[in-house]
């Protein structure tokens, strides 16, 4: 899930100001956490504390209500109700990464992903997008090759993953649907040289940059077995203490790769979310 948070922070300045190149500053002053990180951490807390997903999502929304949520989610969270709203948006996929770590086998991962998505995104495509990302994370942490991951995800979810990234940079537009952003995000991971290159490729294709980078980064964290310290630390220091606490607890419980920066190594640099 640290990969999703880091991808969210790195992609945040470019969500509405797309940058069609892999050459850009990873952490300009305006880089910050958004709803992608808040809701990822909400899912993690729900798993840690065995809470209903909808309650965790609504509670964390209430703490951070100004983080660029989608309009439908915003209305749902404020309503306090539990009925889903039929979404096929990529919000289900951007927040699902904890499910890929918490499940001990494929069936558990897919069920967790379905449950985390269905409280809002009960459309078939919304659930499919979440499950595809969670399964890719699970396969990556099990040591599967990228060829195997691509074949499984493509076959099981009917996603085309052989995108030419140069062509995507030329024509890809802002698309918040799972079916129009999850395959592209996975393709960025599949063609990347390392974790940093994954994020750079994800941002470079344009579109919903923070979410695409969050999805790609979540899978890359598992496959590359962690995040370089020089990339993780600037993202980590942008999180408020309560978001760090849940993330650190999840990281420890499920033995995620790499080390979370020590408190004395991370000066406060919280910008407040978008």
273: in domain: no
Query: What is the number of structural domains in the chain?
Result: 1
231: in domain: yes
The answer to whether 110 and 94 are in contact (CB under 8 A) is: no
Q: What is the domain range of residue 75?
A: 2-16+27-265
C-alpha span between 177 and 266 (Å, rounded): 35
Element (H, E) at 98: helix 97-102
86: in domain: yes
CA nearest neighbour of 113 among 153, 151, 81, 150: 153
* pLDDT given for residue 270 in this prediction: 46
271: in domain: no
Report the range of poorest mean pLDDT among 77-81, 117-121, 151-155: 77-81
22: in domain: no
257: in domain: yes
Average pLDDT over residues 59-69: 96
142: in domain: yes
21: in domain: no
Q: In the 3-class helix/strand/coil scheme, how is 187-224 assigned residue by residue?
A: HHHHCCCCHHHHHHHHHHCCCCHHHHHHHHHHHHHHHC
Residue 219 has pLDDT above 80, yes or no: yes
Which comes out higher in pLDDT, residue 270 or 209? 209
CA nearest neighbour of 186 among 73, 93, 70, 61: 93
* pLDDT given for residue 261 in this prediction: 83
- The percent of residues above 70 in pLDDT, for the chain, comes to 96
Residue 225 has pLDDT above 60, yes or no: yes
* pLDDT given for residue 263 in this prediction: 60
Residue 105 has pLDDT above 80, yes or no: yes
Residue 82 pLDDT grade (very low, low, confident, very high; cuts 50, 70, 90): confident
* pLDDT given for residue 241 in this prediction: 94
CA 12 to chain centre: 12
**CATH number for the domain that contains residue 150:** 1.10.4080.10
Q: Report in angstroms the alpha-carbon separations of 52 from 36, 59, 112, 246, 254.
A: 19, 11, 11, 16, 19
pTM of this prediction? 0.96
Q: What is the mean pLDDT of the chain?
A: 95
Average pLDDT over residues 102-121: 98
* pLDDT given for residue 81 in this prediction: 81
Residue 267 has pLDDT above 80, yes or no: no
Burial 66-90 (b: 16+ CB within 10 A, else e): ebbbeeebbebbeeeeeebbebbbb
Residue 265 pLDDT grade (very low, low, confident, very high; cuts 50, 70, 90): low
For residue range 134-161, what is the model confidence (pLDDT) as tens digits? Answer: 999 999 999 999 999 999 999 999 999 9
Which comes out higher in pLDDT, residue 269 or 24? 24
* pLDDT given for residue 264 in this prediction: 52
For residue range 232-263, what is the model confidence (pLDDT) as tens digits? Answer: 999 999 999 999 999 999 999 999 998 898 76
């Amino acid at each position: 899930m640290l990969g999703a948070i880091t991808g969210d922070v790195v992609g945040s300045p470019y969500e509405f100001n797309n940058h069609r190149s892999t050459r850009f500053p990873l952490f300009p002053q305006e880089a910050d956490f958004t709803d992608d990180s808040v809701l990822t951490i909400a899912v993690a807390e729900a798993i840690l504390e065995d809470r209903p997903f909808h309650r965790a999502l609504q509670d964390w929304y209430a703490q951070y209500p100004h983080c660029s949520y989608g309009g439908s989610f915003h209305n749902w969270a404020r309503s306090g109700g539990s009925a889903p709203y039929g979404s096929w948006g990529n919000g289900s996929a951007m927040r699902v990464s904890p499910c890929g770590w918490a499940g001990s086998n494929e069936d558990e991962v897919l069920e967790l992903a379905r449950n985390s998505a269905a409280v809002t995104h009960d459309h078939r495509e919304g659930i499919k997008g979440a499950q595809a990302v969670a399964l890719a994370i699970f396969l990556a942490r099990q040591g599967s090759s990228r060829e195997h991951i691509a074949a499984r995800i493509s076959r099981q979810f009917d996603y085309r993953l052989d995108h030419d990234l140069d062509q995507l940079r030329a024509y890809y537009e802002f698309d918040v649907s799972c079916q129009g952003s999850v395959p592209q995000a996975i393709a960025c991971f599949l063609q990347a040289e390392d974790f940093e290159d994954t994020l750079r490729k994800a941002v470079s294709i344009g579109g919903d940059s923070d979410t695409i980078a969050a999805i790609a980064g979540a899978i890359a964290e598992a496959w590359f077995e962690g995040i370089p310290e020089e990339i993780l630390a600037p993202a980590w220091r942008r999180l408020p203490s309560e978001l760090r606490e849940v993330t650190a607890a999840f990281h420890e419980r499920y033995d995620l790769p790499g080390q979370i920066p020590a408190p004395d190594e991370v000066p406060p640099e919280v910008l407040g979310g978008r």
